[in-house]
Amino acid sequence: MSSLSLHYVVPGDDFTRAGEASSDVKNKLKKLGYNSDAIRRVAIAMYEAEINMVIHAGGGEAFVEVSPQNVEIQMVDHGPGIADIEKAMQAGYSTAPDKVRSLGFGAGMGLPNIAKYSDTLKIETEVGKGTTLYMTVLANR
Amino acid sequence: MNVRDIISILEAEVISEGDLDIEVKTACGSDMMSDVLAFVKDQSVLLTGLMNPQVVRTAEMMDMHCIIFVRGKEVDPMVIQLAKQKEITILQTHYRMFTACGLLYVNGLRG
C-alpha cells in the first residue's frame, strides 16, 4: 500500500459543509483497501474535530498522513483555544451555544469521542491563539 | 428485515432511494448526532427528527444505509442531494419517534 499526504481547508462559515474533508479521507482510505474498522474510527474522530472547528474556531486546516501502519491527523485552528482541557474532555461538558445544539451537536461528546476512536491524542491549545489536535489511528488495533 | 420491510411497517415514503434490498439488523434513534457518533455498534438505520445535512454526514461516517425522518418532517433539498451522492436511502414516516422505534422493534429490529 502506498503512503498518502492530504491537506484540507475547513471553511468556518458554513455548517452545512462541515465533514467534507472527513468524507474525502474516508473515500480515499476505502480505495486504498484500508481496514474498515480503522476507516470508521478515522472518519468519526476527524468528523468530530471538523465539527468542533466550525462550531468553536471559525474553521481551520486538516493535515492527514496515511501509511500502511497508521493514519496521522493534525487539525489546526486559530480559534479561541480551550480554557479548561480537563473539563472539555469530560463526556457531557459543552460550551457550545444553543444554536449548535439545535443542529444536533454540542452534547459535550466531541473531544471524548475523538479520544475514544483514536489510538493516540495530543492537544496543544492556548487561549486566544488556537488549538491543534494530533490524532493517530492504527490500521490494526 | 430489509429496507422494503421498513417502508411497509412505517407506511413510509421513499424520498431518496439507495439499496432497498439490503439486510438491516439494528437501528439507532436520536436527534443528537454527537450521541449517535458516540455509540458505534454497526447500526445500519438511523431514526431522527433532526433535519440538516449533518444527519447524512453522520450516517455516512457510521456506514449506515438508511435514514428515517419521523413526525412527517419535510425533507430539506440539501439533505436529499447529499443522500443521493452517498447512496443512502431516505425515508419519511408520519409516525413519531417513540412509535416508529417501537414498531420496528416488535418486528425484529434491535438497538
B29-64 pLDDT, tens digit per residue, is 999 998 899 886 788 999 999 999 999 999 999 999
- The pLDDT value recorded for residue B12 is 98
Domain of A109, in residue numbers: 4-138
Residue in B34, B35, B57 closest to A23 by CB: B57
Residues B25, A133: Cα–Cα separation, whole Å? 35
pLDDT at B73 > cutoff 90:
no
pLDDT at B110 > cutoff 90:
yes
Here the CATH number for the domain that contains residue A118 is 3.30.565.10
Please give the model's pTM, rounded to 2 decimal places: 0.93
CA distance A44 to chain B (A): 6
Domains by residue range for chain B, with CATH? 3-106 (3.40.1390.20)
% helix, strand, coil for chain A, step of 5:
40, 30, 35
- A23 CB neighbours in chain B (<8 A) are 57, 60-61
Cβ distance B38 to A103 less than 8 Å, yes or no, reads: no
Closest Cα partner for A26 from A58, A57, A78, A71?
A71
Residues A111, A133: Cα–Cα separation, whole Å? 10
State the total domains in chain A. 1
The string of pLDDT tens digits covering residues A23-51 is 999 999 999 999 999 999 999 999 999 99
Residues B36, B59: Cα–Cα separation, whole Å? 9
- The pLDDT value recorded for residue A49 is 96
Q: Which residues are within 8 A (CB) of A27 and not within 5 positions of it... i.e. 6 or more apart? A: none
